[in-house]
Amino acid sequence: MFGRLTLEAFQHDWIEYAAGLSMVFGALATVILLTYFRLWKWLWKEWLTTVDHKKIGIMYIIVSFIMLFKGIFDAVMMRLQQVWSVGDSMGYITASHFQQVATAHGVTMIFFVGMGLMFGIINMILPLQIGARDVAFPALNSISFWLFTSGAMFILVSLIVGEFAGTGWTSYPPLSGLKYSPGVGVDYWLWTIQISGVGSLLSGINFFVTILKMRCPGMKLMRMPIFVWASFATMIMVMFAFPILTATLNMLTTDRLIDTKLFTTEAGGNPMMYINLIWAWGHPEVYILILPAFGIFSEVVAVFSEKRLFGYKTMVYAIFVITFLSFIVWLHHFFTMGSGASVNAFFGIMTMIIAVPTGVKVFNWLFTMFQGRVRLDTPMLWFLGFAIVFVLGGMTGVMMSIPAVDFQVHNTLFLVAHFHSVIIGGVVFGFFAGYSYWFPKFTGIMLNERIGKWAFGFWLSGFLLAFMPLYLLGFMGATRRLDHYEPQTGFFPLFAVAGVGAILICIGFGLQILQILVSIKENKKDLSGDPWNGRTLEWSTSSPPPHYNFAHIPEVHSIDPFWEMKKEPEMKKKPLHEIHMPSNTGVGVYLGALSFIFGFAMIWHMFWLAILSAIIMVGCLIARLYEKNTEYYISVEEIKRDA
């Protein structure tokens, strides 16, 4: 009945017990508080079942911040082990546990921090920027979020029941096959990504249709904000790349469930096929993460330079050149496999070329600042930090595009430093720029600038201390996922500096939490609705916006519509009409919970439970088709009250 789930699955070391107990106590405390203050009905009605794109975006960001906390904690654990485990000392965690932490850190940060933050901010901003009241498929948006959350839960549950994969975040076979990983770790990894990946694919389709079909009158394609263009290109990559990931993981799942041996060399399979497929998804994934950040920086730099963005059309063209080239550079991730000089040369050249449109964007941002009235508010500081860290990471990427160089630094900490330079310096710094820029839009409260600047300072200095030493360690021969080394290697001083950097990043993250608390206490209201003097449509609504976004669907006539509306507020002259909006639905919550049960049952081979949950999921979808009262109307009187 319970498949391979036994009491042994609950046996862990003291660190996992501590992590598991902290999760259980946290969940119990949350339940007790919600019960004591009688908030369950409000939580269900206003948040859990919502189809409001803004609330769904906020929930994405809340889940991503929880996972960011876990991801940072994993990183600190790894750095402490590398500082501690020298010579006769084996550190404080075992080698197998270290590999699990390293794998969980990668999966957490890529799928549930990077993807979650970007989908969150796209949810919040994109419909407002195109003058829409919601996304094209609001209920599907809710389903996508709950599938994302369901996938994230497996990483946390693995701390209590079973174990997580120790294969690295890409889980190459044969290490991820049954022969070398017979436990449940790889299965947790598989269902974590498969379930959340379906949610990402559905979101990609939803936003693609939203941008094509939901733009307000007058918003032609070349009048869209750059953030919308970046999101549009991102969704194209999601729709083309994530089916590759799903197919690849399905093949590995059949290898593990019914021993198909698709990736087993001695049985006629080919593990290199897996590596080709995973990176055919994996390199577009890097740009799926970074392009929305590029869109954010395009908004921030123009506003805080008090100029129109330099080279709008070239920015759009650069975005789509990146989109195309992102699909033909995947092999640079495994130059060392022995493909031959011709193949390596082609992918090396393509990798160098993709740096050109990225450089175009950086120069356009710099030209936007040139002779502008640059204001060094917190969002602009995050851009400047990005410019330093990301360009450094990009230059090391061009270095590794040369196969001869890659042969020397492949699988070393040099590669880790490069990857973190572009992901943290690009994606995370990009999100923080957007978060500090749009926070007053969605709360009506200005963030405390002083604490925000301190947080930025700790993040930037912490990053440089944490990852610049890794470039040197990579040249010295330190490999990825290294949990023990001898003192004569000379690694210790650099690992110690990296450990200090990780602590500074933790302080920066803590200051951001403090910033939110202090800002709420200060309650500096943004009564103008436009504290930054923005130019795009989201600033034409109140702060925070009403759930229907716009009392009137706006009409735009230029690339800076709100700039014109300030001079001639024509929207206020139009008569009000009742508004038609979608009703809340619980289908997303139900499908998220059932998909978690299905995945858990497949991991532990409780096939009867997997079949039952799958049947109920189909039933939920059919019931949704016949659900009544899926819409409601907002009266003119209610709109006037909101105004």
Determine the pLDDT at residue 461: 97
CB atoms inside a 10 Å sphere around CB 536: 25
- Percent of the chain having pLDDT more than 90? 85
Determine the pLDDT at residue 311: 95
Mean pLDDT for 32-39 is 94
**Cβ atoms of residues 571 and 620 within 8 Å:** no
Mean pLDDT for 306-312 is 94
Which domains does the chain show, CATH number per domain? Answer: 7-585+627-642 (1.20.210.10)
Determine the pLDDT at residue 570: 54
Determine the pLDDT at residue 575: 82
**Cβ atoms of residues 435 and 62 within 8 Å:** no
- Angstrom CA distances, 504 to 454, 463, 499, 518, stand at 11, 8, 9, 20
Helix axes 226-258, 271-305, angle to 10 degrees: 160
Determine the pLDDT at residue 563: 79
Q: What is the largest CA-CA distance in the chain?
A: 79
Q: Which residue has the tokens 């959350």?
A: 149
**Cβ atoms of residues 365 and 383 within 8 Å:** yes
Determine the pLDDT at residue 51: 96
**Cβ atoms of residues 199 and 121 within 8 Å:** no
CB atoms inside a 10 Å sphere around CB 116: 28
- Percent of the chain having pLDDT more than 70? 98
Determine the pLDDT at residue 573: 63
Determine the pLDDT at residue 569: 57
Mean of pLDDT over the chain: 94
Residues 334-378: pLDDT tens digits?
999 888 999 999 999 999 999 999 999 999 999 999 999 999 999
**Three-state SS at 215:** coil
CA distance 83 to 80: 5
DSSP state letter for 580: E
Mean pLDDT for 97-118 is 96
Mean pLDDT for 2-19 is 90
Residues 496-524: pLDDT tens digits?
999 999 999 999 999 999 999 999 998 87
**Cβ atoms of residues 485 and 498 within 8 Å:** no
Mean pLDDT for 85-108 is 94
Determine the pLDDT at residue 528: 63
Mean pLDDT for 205-209 is 98
Q: Is the pLDDT of residue 28 over 70?
A: yes
Mean pLDDT for 452-466 is 97
The token pair that represents 471 in the structure block: 């470039």
**Pick from 65-79, 93-107, 531-545: least confident:** 531-545
Q: Is the pLDDT of residue 323 over 80?
A: yes
Total length of the chain: 643
Amino acid at 27: A
Comparing 441 with 643, which gets the higher pLDDT?
441
The pTM of the full predicted model, rounded to 2 decimals, is 0.96
Residue 460's pLDDT band (boundaries 50, 70, 90)?
A: very high
Determine the pLDDT at residue 527: 62
Determine the pLDDT at residue 643: 66
**Three-state SS at 638:** helix
Q: Is the pLDDT of residue 530 over 90?
A: no
- Pairing relation of β-strands 579-582 and 631-634? antiparallel
Residues 550-589: pLDDT tens digits?
988 999 988 888 877 776 655 556 788 899 899 999 999 9
